[in-house]
Amino acid sequence: MKATNYPWESALRAKFPTPATEGIHEFYFSLDGGGRELIIDAIRSHDVRLMIEVGSFLCGSTLQWFEASSTLAIIGIDPWSANFASILDRYRDNPVFDPCFAKIEHRGEFIDSVRQHGPFLSAMANVRKHADRFIPVRASSPEVLEELAALSVMPDMIYFDSNKLLDDLSVARRLFPDATLCGDDWTWGAEQGFPVQVAVKDFCSRFGLNYRAHRATWIIDNPKTS
């Protein structure tokens, strides 16, 4: 399974093993709100080799990053503990989510499979063919970021797509000062005053950084790589 040759990889995989997923059907379901070409362009132009993704869900976004680069390895952080099947049940007949279901032939079969196997095994089956370059860290951010830093993990990029609080942005900068920070949910939460926009703009003004946003995606320019 080990293929990336990072010195910390064996220890991390021992603590967070990849489960066997034989017999579980794989699906491509990405909660893609648009603009991810910003991330794909940055992965390619900055030759990103190691990415931390906070909030992997069913690893649809993870597959998008893997398809962008054959030399990319990803540490996916997610507790994989929520009831994903009931979340998908809510999305199933909402036309807003039709693009996310575009590659799913039978929505009912897909959701039944997620219900039967649960969030973690379902997600792992979806990235099975990239298991040598995907490490599932079944835990919560920001707490587990400290653990990764203690192992001397040094990501080139961190993609945030979890709880909309972005309480991990400052922690990430402190622990991984060279990483490019980016994420999702730019357009989420009109009634709550677009909390991700507020957090990113505040963070950038505190540290004198520039950001770019397109549709749901945002990326903070990294002075070390741009």
Q: Which residues bind ligand SAM (CB under 6 A)?
A: 30-32, 54-57, 60-61, 77-79, 82, 140-141, 161-163
Cβ-contact 16, 24 below 8 angstroms: no
- Closer CB to ligand SAM, residue 27 or residue 57? 57
Cβ of residue 179: shortest distance to ligand SAM, in angstroms?
16
Query: Kind and range of the H or E element at 117?
Result: helix 107-126
Minimum Å gap between C-beta 5 and ligand SAM is: 26
Name the minimum Å distance from CB 96 to ligand SAM: 13
- Name the minimum Å distance from CB 208 to ligand SAM: 28
- DSSP E strand stretches across 178-220: 180-183, 211-214, 217-220
The answer to whether 197 touches 189, Cβ cutoff 8 Å, is no
Residue closer to ligand SAM (CB basis): 7 or 90? 90
Nearest distance from C-beta of residue 136 to ligand SAM, angstroms: 11
Q: At what angle do helices 107-126 and 84-91 cross, to 10 degrees?
A: 140
Among candidate residues 53, 34, 40, the one with its CA nearest the CA of residue 213: 34
CB-facing half-sphere around the CA of 149: CA atoms within 13 A: 16
The structure tokens listed for 84 are: 């994903």
Toward ligand SAM, which CB reaches closer, 194 or 205? 194
| Residue nearer to ligand SAM on the CB measure, 143 or 210 | 143
Nearer to ligand SAM, 2 or 165 (CB): 165
> Which regions of the chain does DSSP assign to beta strands (E)?
50-54, 73-77, 134-137, 157-160, 180-183, 211-214, 217-220
Q: Indicate the residue whose CB is closest to ligand SAM.
A: 55
Least separation in angstroms between CB 178 and ligand SAM: 22
Q: Which is nearer to ligand SAM, 150 or 210 (CB)?
A: 150
Which of 213, 215, 214 is CA-nearest to residue 200? 213
